[in-house]
Structure 1
Amino acid sequence: MSEKQTNNVYDLSFFMPGQTAETEEIKSIISKRFVDKKGEVIPFVFKAITTERIDELEKENTTFKNVKGRGRVKDLDSQRFYARIAVESTIYPDFKSKELREAYKTQDPVEVAKRVLSVGGEYANWLNKAIEVNGFEDEIEDLETEAKN
Structure 2
Amino acid sequence: MTLKERINEDVKAAMRARAAQTLGALRLLTAAIKQREVDERIALDDAAIISVIDRMLKQRRDSIAQFAQAGRNDLVDAETFELRLLSAYLPASLSTEELAAAVAKAIAETAATGPGDMGKVMACLRTGLAGRVDMSEASRLVKAQLTGV
Give the alignment's TM-score, normalised by structure 2.
0.26
Determine which structure has the larger strand proportion and give its number. 1
Give the alignment's TM-score, normalised by structure 1.
0.26
Give the greater-gyration-radius structure (CA): 1
